[in-house]
Amino acid sequence: MAATDNDEPVVDPAAVRRHRVLFRAIDKRRNPKLRRSDITVTDEAAVKRATKAAMLGNAMEWYDFGIYSYLASTLGKVFFPSGNDTAQLLSSFATFAVAFLVRPIGGAFFGPLGDKIGRKSILAITMIMMSVGTLAIGLIPSHATIGIWAPVLLIFFRLVQGFSTGGEYGGASTFIAEYAPDKRRGFFGSFLEFGTLAGYVAASGLVVLLTTFFSDDQMLHWGWRIPFLVAAPLGFIGLWLRMKLDETPAFQKLEGGQVRASEAADAVETSAVSDLGKIFTQYWRPLLLCLALVAAYNITDYMLLSYMPTYLSDELGYGTNKGLLILLLVMVVQMCLLQQVGRLSDRVGRKPLLMTGMIGFLVLSLPSFLLIRQGSVFLIALGLLLLGLSLVCLLGTMSAALPAIFPTQVRYGSLSVSYNLATSIFGGTTPLVITALISAFDTNLMPAYYATAAAVVGVIAVLCLKETANLPLAGSPPSVETEEEAAELVQAQAPEPKF
């Protein structure tokens, strides 16, 4: 007998044929029939509270990153004085990328800890750190006031933000996935990305208002601080919501507090103390799959939602507000479609929608940027909408698909490590890489080529992904909405009477 990556023994088929009765007994012992007590019947009110708390935290995270992206030019002048606008912009985007360098470290720290002590406690800690980091950035004096200490402090608090964010997405998506019933995990998971778009919409809307009512000089001296200071109270509201929640049902059962589903579940309980070594040695295949999916997803996501306003203003010469307003309208359209995409993924599966999104970027990236370059408001909006519709297929599905790749006992840790590693290498560096590539190759179509290459990786990753819609999470018993569904699951296992 040999062991697979998931500790499942590989049995010689000849031995099974010789000892059928023995191996049937072993299989029954390892995979006993479900009892009613094994099945989780969800409380819809609790699921909605959990979804709301996770969504608000995600909105807060992407509000922070959106604000920094949309004010990149202004922040470059405040913290990195230079006579060269491109150098200032690159310095600002480099600081944006710095936060992503520590995200894998944050994921490696908070993720396994969330598998040991619970999802709720870690999500509360990450929310506090994120709020403090954002507030502090809004209070840093400019380079003109304190010199080199201004960019040093900016980088330090960006590192605080990045470290806390390392435990945020993995925990929030795990939290919703473990609360939601199996047949509606896509619908509830889509609210997490609704929070992402809500954060970006709030950031872009506030920047448009500020740049409309304040002069360039006012924005440069003090106006840029307002969005960072506003974020602090929002973070504490999110913290309050999270502290009111119970731990997820899946984690409670993992601890053995309520249900012991089988002897297989006993092994799961003891493995809650799993560390990074176990994650990398026993779950490296799902880690690689998740990394590839997230890399393709984040390159397209950050290109459209973070980098595009800067691209429109600095590379194509459009007004800042013009580009932001068009992108804001595209994001509002995406928000209106997200829940429908989530519902659709519960009906037709995750893979068809993920593949649609990846192929959309593969085929439409270059035509979309050719439209955007024309300068007409209508054509810019059409180009951004084509990219936005491709992205919404990923946004509405990914939050349900990614947690299902890993079993419960290592879900938070594995997802946090792989997600943040991919985001650090490919997502957060997207604005910096694209800006550098445009400068090196002297073509403003470089974002289209970059997105197309990412989509190729995404298509291959989706082909390797197993369908998980309507199935229980690995390592957890089924989760249903009603007692009737639970009774039907148990009844379905009863053997048919023989006469």
Render pLDDT for 278-294 as a digit per residue (tens, 0 to 9).
Answer: 778 888 899 999 999 99
The per-residue DSSP string of 185-228 comes to HHHHHHHHHHHHHHHHHHHHHHHHHHHHHS-HHHIIIIITHHHH
Whether the pLDDT of residue 107 is over 60: the answer is yes
Phi-psi map region of 84: left, alpha, beta (phi>0 left; psi -120 to 50 alpha):
beta
Whether the pLDDT of residue 14 is over 70: the answer is no
What is the pLDDT confidence band of residue 365, given thresholds at 50, 70 and 90?
very high
- Residue 490 CA to residue 130 CA, distance in Å, equals 44
Greater confidence (5 vs 157) lies with 157
Whether the pLDDT of residue 391 is over 90: the answer is yes
Which tokens is 313 given?
A: 């203003």
Coil, strand or helix at 9: strand
pLDDT at 350: 95
pLDDT at 354: 96
What is the pLDDT confidence band of residue 493, given thresholds at 50, 70 and 90?
low
Count the neighbouring beta carbons within 10 Å of the beta carbon of residue 7. Answer: 10
CB 134 within 8 A of CB 263: no
Q: Which of 55-64, 67-76, 262-271, 374-383 has the weakest average pLDDT?
A: 262-271
Find the mean pLDDT for residues 362-370.
Answer: 94
Locate all alpha helices (DSSP H) within 423-471, ordered by sequence: 430-441, 446-464
CB 430 within 8 A of CB 387: no
Nearest CA to 381 out of 336, 335, 327, 446 is that of 327
Find the mean pLDDT for residues 252-273.
Answer: 44
pLDDT at 324: 75
What is the pLDDT confidence band of residue 9, given thresholds at 50, 70 and 90?
low
b/e code 139-170 from CB counts within 10 Å (16+ = b): ebebbeeeeeebbebbebbbbbbbbbbbbbbb
Greater confidence (354 vs 214) lies with 354
Residue with structure tokens 């922070």? 64
- What is the rounded average pLDDT for all residues in the chain? 80
Whether the pLDDT of residue 155 is over 60: the answer is yes
Coil, strand or helix at 177: helix
Residue with structure tokens 């035509």? 367
pLDDT at 235: 76
pLDDT at 256: 53
- Which range is most confident: 199-213, 250-264, 397-411? 397-411
Whether the pLDDT of residue 347 is over 80: the answer is yes
Find the mean pLDDT for residues 448-468.
Answer: 94
Whether the pLDDT of residue 108 is over 90: the answer is no
pLDDT at 295: 93
- Residue 334 CA to residue 341 CA, distance in Å, equals 10
Percent of the chain at pLDDT > 90 equals 21
Greater confidence (466 vs 1) lies with 466
Residue with structure tokens 């980088």? 155
pLDDT at 217: 86
Convert the pLDDT of each residue in 179-197 to its tens digit: 888 899 999 999 988 988 8
Residue 238 phi, psi (nearest 5) = -60, -40
Find the mean pLDDT for residues 385-410.
Answer: 92
Q: Which of 30-34, 83-87, 478-482 has the weakest average pLDDT?
A: 30-34
Greater confidence (7 vs 474) lies with 474
Whether the pLDDT of residue 6 is over 50: the answer is no
CB 276 within 8 A of CB 112: yes
Which tokens is 39 given?
A: 């099945």
Whether the pLDDT of residue 264 is over 50: the answer is no
- Which range is most confident: 147-161, 312-326, 364-378, 447-461? 447-461
Whether the pLDDT of residue 477 is over 90: the answer is no
pLDDT at 263: 35
R_g of the chain, CA atoms, integer Å:
24
Percent of the chain at pLDDT > 70 equals 84
Whether the pLDDT of residue 387 is over 90: the answer is yes
- Please give the angle made by the CA atoms of 234, 196 and 96, to the nearest 5 degrees: 85
What is the pLDDT confidence band of residue 22, given thresholds at 50, 70 and 90?
low
Find the mean pLDDT for residues 402-409.
Answer: 88
Residue with structure tokens 């935290």? 57
Which tokens is 259 given?
A: 């249900």
Nearest CA to 115 out of 260, 279, 259, 263 is that of 279
- Residue 423 CA to residue 411 CA, distance in Å, equals 17
Greater confidence (330 vs 15) lies with 330
- Residue 92 CA to residue 68 CA, distance in Å, equals 9
- Please give the angle made by the CA atoms of 200, 202 and 207, to the nearest 5 degrees: 95
